[in-house]
Amino acid sequence: MRPIHATQRIEAPPERVWAVATDLEHAAERVSGIDRIEVVTDGPFGVGTVWRETRTMMNHQSTEELTVTRCGPPTGYTVEGESCGCAFASTLRFTPAGEGATDVGFEMLWRAKTIFAKLASPIAGLLVGGGMRKAVESDLSDLKRACESPA
């Protein structure tokens, strides 16, 4: 499947965007595409943090386990997981943009791991790619709304 890229300008400083984006306990309240989150590890958000995220996409509910593999407050983080025979890495980057604003960049890379996933990848990309991109854009809009709301 092709990489998924999306961007969003948020009228809040990177520190605020970081705080909201890494607040896993309230993510399901802030991001409409998330049904629920179960944090598996204890402690602050950082490399090694693990959570299970449940979403409904195309009338199918799925729970994926995500692990933080790179963490650089407040500039961004990467999470990795596996789904449907594919490994994926999603990176969020928070870049200062003028007076008190942040440009958020999102990138998701996929790699088929099983024979079935390798064979289905071209078709799955066509069928699922657009829906995934819309979900990511919706997530970023929800992040923007949460960050720009009074704390």
Residue 66 contacts residue 55 (beta carbons within 8 Å): no
The correct answer on CATH 3.30.530.20 for the domain covering 4-148 is yes
Give the three-class secondary structure for 93.
strand
Per-residue pLDDT, 129: 57
Under the banding of pLDDT at 50, 70 and 90, the label for residue 133 is confident
Domain ranges of the chain: 4-148
pLDDT per residue as tens digits for the range 60-75: 899 999 999 999 999 9
Question: Quick check: 132 pLDDT over 80?
Answer: no
Q: What are the tens digits of pLDDT across the range 14-31? A: 999 999 999 999 999 999
Comparing C-alpha atoms, which of 119, 98, 99, 49 is closest to residue 78? Answer: 49
pLDDT at residue 85 is higher than 70 = yes
Calpha distance 102→71 (Å, rounded): 17
The pLDDT assigned to 119 comes to 60
Residue pair 36/54 in contact (Cβ under 8 Å)? The answer is yes
Q: Is the pLDDT of residue 125 over 70?
A: no
Q: Identity (one letter) of the amino acid at 10?
A: I
pTM for the model stands at 0.88
Q: Is the dihedral of CA 50, 24, 3, 62 positive or negative?
A: positive
Q: Which two tokens stand for residue 23?
A: 């607040």
- The DSSP bridge pattern shows strands 4-10 and 34-39 to be unpaired
Alpha carbons 34 and 29: distance in angstroms, whole number: 8
